[in-house]
Amino acid sequence: MTEITGVIALQSDVVQARQAAREMAKNLGFGSADQTRLATAISELTRNVIQYADQGRYTITDKSDNGRIKVQVVVEDNGPGILDITKALEYGYSTGAGLGAGLPGTRRLVHRFTIESKPGQTRITVAMIKKISHS
């Protein structure tokens, strides 16, 4: 199982996480559209960490098995948490100066999206999945 981890504290960390996710997706056989969708999702999540929590970490893992190719990304921080996850997933809702499209947009870009948050810890897990055809 291949795994890449990194710290999120600077804008350059956003770029590094984005490139690492795209590269793993490419190496696993995802097409360019899925690579771009995953990279965009990671950019949004890591930028949110810098904006709302100052710093955090990411883990990109090849979770493929016999029936599917799967790249999973976990982004987590120890910031203030998301008080109302349901609201945060609505388009147009923002606690900052943004457009409120980040989390709902991210959720639409990926195949799997889960979010857990409480004060002092937020963990968002996203994944791109591709079924393996056995012909």
Tell me which range, 80-89, 109-118, 126-135, is most confidently predicted by mean pLDDT.
109-118
Angstrom distance (rounded) from CA 101 to CA 91: 5
Residue 106 belongs to a domain with what CATH number? Answer: 3.30.565.10
What is the structure's pLDDT at 34?
A: 96
pLDDT at residue 104, as a whole number: 87
Number of domains observed in the structure of the chain: 1
pLDDT one-digit tens code per residue, 35-89 = 999 999 999 999 999 988 989 999 999 999 989 999 999 999 999 998 888 888 8
Nearest to 62 by CA among 54, 53, 71: 71
Percent above pLDDT 70 for the chain: 92
- 7-21 pLDDT tens trace: 999 999 999 999 999
The parent domain of residue 65 ranges over 3-131
3-state secondary structure of 69: strand
Q: The whole model's pTM is what?
A: 0.91
